[in-house]
Amino acid sequence: MKTEVKAGPYMGDTLATDWELYNFICDHEDCTVYVISKHLNLPTSKTTQSVKRLIRAKMVREKEKVVSGRMVEVIAPVKWTEHFTEAELEEIKSMD
C-alpha cells in the first residue's frame, strides 16, 4: 500500500523561509549558518534545517573556509553553470 504525503500547514512557511535564505545566500556568499540566522532574525535550528533542504535540492553547498585562523563551514550558492556539462555550456554559448 502506497501512502500519500500531504502538505502540512507549515509547507508554505517552509518554502518561503527556504527562498528567503536562498536569496540571502546568493547576495551574501560564504556566510555561516549563525550569521545567516542572526541577519534574518531566525532561530539557528530553523536556518540549519532550511540550509539542509537547499543542499539536498543542490541550490547551495557547504564549504570550508579559514576565518580568524580556524576552519568554519560556510554556505555558498551553486552557480547555474555548474548544472551543465562543458558540452552543454558550449551549445548554449553557440545559440547566439
Three-class DSSP labels, the chain: CCCCCCCCCCHHHHHHHHHHHHHHHHHCCCECHHHHHHHCCCCHHHHHHHHHHHHHCCCEEEEEEEECCEEEEEEEECCHHHHCCHHHHHHHHCCC
Q: Parse the chain into domains and list their residue ranges.
A: 11-93
At 50-68, the pLDDT tens digits run: 999 999 988 899 999 888 8
**pLDDT over 50 at 7, yes or no:** no
Q: Closest by alpha carbon to 89, among 58, 26, 59, 80?
A: 80
Q: What CATH code would you report for 11-93?
A: 1.10.10.10
Q: What is the mean pLDDT of residues 9-14?
A: 63
At 13-47, the pLDDT tens digits run: 788 889 999 999 999 988 999 999 999 999 999 99
Task: Report pTM.
Answer: 0.72
